[in-house]
């Protein structure tokens, strides 16, 4: 005869049927002393998850139920949808071993418990599982079914809400967040610096004098004075990572003028400005952008003297820009953007 059958012999079938009905009607009777529900959540430091513990127990000395037949834990499914309130586990005197409801069988829930017919046996049903910090409040319920002193079916229950501290969770997320941000900023700076170094290394210092850095740019003045060929000069600038100088504003022009003045070695310094394509409309050779209006033009320049002056030079003895015959001898100036 099986253990269960043996137990059943001690219980008239009628009572078992009534007990099942009581089980379905759980929660109708108000909370009674003697049933305990312990719910706790210990989140591990620096982890986004913690151990949730639910322990349902009965002290028969303190309750009307003298014989506990089953203990049931209800709550939101540990791995199910939030907000569901369902039977999670049960232990009864027939099987004696606690059981998870079928859809939780494969979950990583630790479960143990004790059920016995004996008096003062302190039955309990314990569950624990690791869970990510939930965002909300969870409610758990413990239900004990059994017989009272008059050997009548009885049910008691206890419910408990657990508040998960979002503060703990989000402080950690925030700190990880800010660490990541800091790291990516450092990486960005590192990449910029690396790019900067690579660009500086790519400059052919045997061919060019190099200015100081201004607004992440350096300017190069060719060392050799020669007949200007705008296309070839732009190519020479390119092979050092730049292009024929293009002034966006007066400030940039002032910086370059100052550099050329110090570097010296020539009177004519060719720029990217020219009106080869359309007389009177100065554009930059590399970008094809219009030359903005600049105060650097020397007195009465550009004048297109002899109808033959299409290239824009910086002429030191004019202290400014001048248009001049494109193939005249001079040095040329490149611009290199360092952080691109
Ligand atoms: C659950 O609670 C009961 C009653 O307090 C206790 O005897 C039992 O040891 C607890 N189980 C665990 C695993 O903490
Ligand atoms: C670069 O800057 C330093 C310090 O401001 C200055 O002494 C030096 O003349 C500058 N060099 C050029 C080429 O402008």
83: region left, alpha or beta (phi > 0 left; psi from -120 to 50 alpha): left
Ligand 2: list residues with CB < 6 Å: 211-212, 259, 262
* Nearest CA, atom 8, ligand 1: 124
In total, how many domains does the chain have? Answer: 2
Mean pLDDT of 134-158: 83
Residue 133 covered by a domain: yes
Q: Which of 158-162, 185-189, 194-198, 243-247 has the highest mean pLDDT?
A: 243-247
Does residue 191 lie in a domain region? Answer: no
Quote the ligand 1 centre to 79 CA distance (angstroms).
24
- Coil, helix or strand for 298? coil
| Percent of residues, the chain, with pLDDT higher than 70 | 80
Ligand showing the shortest atom-to-Cα distance for residue 54: 1
- Closest CA to ligand 2's atom 13: 211
| Predicted local distance difference test score (pLDDT) of residue 256 | 97
- Relative to the CA of 210, which ligand 2 atom is closest? 13
Cα dist from 135 to 97, 160, 162, 325, whole Å: 32, 17, 11, 75
Q: Note the pLDDT tens digit of each residue in 247-261.
A: 999 999 999 999 999
Residue 44 reports pLDDT greater than 50: yes
Tell me what pLDDT residue 95 has. Answer: 85
Ligand 1: does its nearest atom lie under 6 Å from the Cβ of 113?
no
What's the full length of the chain, in residues? 340
Specify if 193 maps to a domain. no
Q: Ligand 1 center to residue 123 CA distance, Å?
A: 9
Decide: 309 and 319 in contact? Cβ < 8 Å: no
Among all bound ligands, the one having the nearest atom to the CA of 142 is: 1
Residues 212 and 316 in one domain: yes
Do residues 150 and 249 both lie within one domain?
no
Decide if 322 contacts 274 (C-beta within 8 A): no
- CATH for 225: 3.10.100.10
Whether 124 is in the pocket of ligand 1, judged by its Cβ within 6 Å, is yes
The residue out of 143, 177, 211 marking a domain boundary is: 177
Ligand 1 centre and the CA of 125: distance in Å? 8
Q: Which of 89-93, 150-154, 177-181 has the highest mean pLDDT?
A: 89-93
Non-local (6+) Cβ contacts of 114 within 8 A are: 91, 121, 122, 123, 124
Residues 219 and 161 in one domain: no
17 plus 140 within the same structural domain: yes
pLDDT for res 10: 41
- Atom 4 in ligand 1: residue holding the nearest Cα: 57
pLDDT band for position 84 (50/70/90)? low
Residue 135: pLDDT above 60?
no
Q: In the numeric block, which tokens belong to residue 301?
A: 């320049």
* Residue 222, domain extent: 203-337
Which residue's CA is the closest to the ligand 2 atom numbered 7? Answer: 212
Domain at 34, CATH number: 2.60.40.10
Are the C-beta atoms of residues 236 and 273 closer than 8 Å to each other?
Answer: no
Nearest CA to ligand 1 atom 12: 126
Q: Which residue is associated with the tokens 């100065």?
A: 282
Taking the C-alpha atoms of residue 93 and residue 68, their distance in angstroms, rounded to an integer, is 8
Q: Tell me whether residue 210 is in a domain.
A: yes
Q: Between residues 297 and 23, which one has the greater pLDDT? A: 297
Q: Report yes or no: 307 and 322 within 8 Å, Cβ to Cβ.
A: no
Q: Are residues 260 and 145 in the same domain?
A: no
- Tokens representing 108 are 């990583």
Q: Are 246 and 272 in contact (CB under 8 A)?
A: yes
Instruction: Provide mean pLDDT across the span 36-48.
Output: 73
Atom of ligand 2 nearest to the CA of 209: 13
In this structure, what token pair is assigned to residue 151? 């050997």
Ligand 2, atom 8, residue with closest C-alpha: 212
**In the chain, % of residues over pLDDT 90:** 43
| Helix extents (H) in the chain | 3-10, 13-24, 166-202, 230-238, 250-263
- Looking at the domain assignment, is residue 188 inside a domain? no
Which residue is closest in CA terms to ligand 2's atom 6?
212
pTM value surpassing 0.85: no
């Amino acid at each position: 005869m099986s253990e269960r059958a043996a137990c059943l012999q001690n219980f008239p079938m009628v009572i078992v049927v009534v007990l099942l009905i009581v089980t379905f009607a759980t929660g109708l009777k108000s909370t009674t002393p003697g049933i305990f529900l312990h719910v706790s959540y210990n989140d591990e430091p620096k982890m986004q998850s913690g151990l949730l513990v639910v322990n349902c127990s009965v002290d028969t000395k303190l309750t009307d139920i003298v014989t506990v037949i089953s203990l049931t834990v209800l709550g939101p499914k540990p791995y199910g949808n939030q907000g569901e309130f369902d039977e999670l586990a049960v232990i009864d005197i027939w099987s004696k071993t606690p059981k998870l409801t079928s859809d939780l069988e494969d979950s990583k829930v630790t479960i143990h418990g004790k059920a016995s017919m004996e008096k003062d046996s302190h039955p309990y049903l314990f569950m624990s599982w690791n869970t990510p910090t939930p965002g909300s409040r969870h409610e758990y319920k413990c239900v004990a079914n059994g017989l009272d002193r008059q050997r009548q079916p009885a049910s008691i229950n206890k419910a408990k809400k657990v508040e998960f501290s979002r503060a703990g969770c989000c402080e950690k997320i925030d700190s990880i967040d800010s660490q990541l941000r800091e790291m990516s900023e450092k990486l960005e700076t590192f990449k910029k610096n690396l790019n900067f170094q690579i660009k500086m290394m790519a400059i052919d210092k045997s061919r060019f004098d190099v200015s100081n850095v201004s607004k992440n740019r350096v300017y190069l003045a060719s060392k050799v004075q020669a007949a200007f060929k705008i296309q070839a000069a732009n190519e020479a600038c390119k092979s050092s990572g730049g292009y024929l100088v293009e002034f966006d504003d007066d400030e940039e022009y002032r910086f370059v003028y100052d550099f050329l003045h110090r570097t010296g070695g020539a009177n004519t310094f060719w720029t990217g400005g020219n009106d080869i394509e359309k007389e009177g409309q100065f554009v930059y050779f590399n970008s094809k952008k219009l030359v903005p209006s600049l105060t650097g033009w020397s007195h009465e320049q550009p004048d297109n003297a002899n109808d033959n002056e299409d290239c824009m030079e910086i002429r030191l003895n004019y202290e400014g820009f001048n248009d001049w015959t494109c193939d005249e001898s001079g040095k040329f100036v490149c611009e290199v953007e360092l952080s691109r």
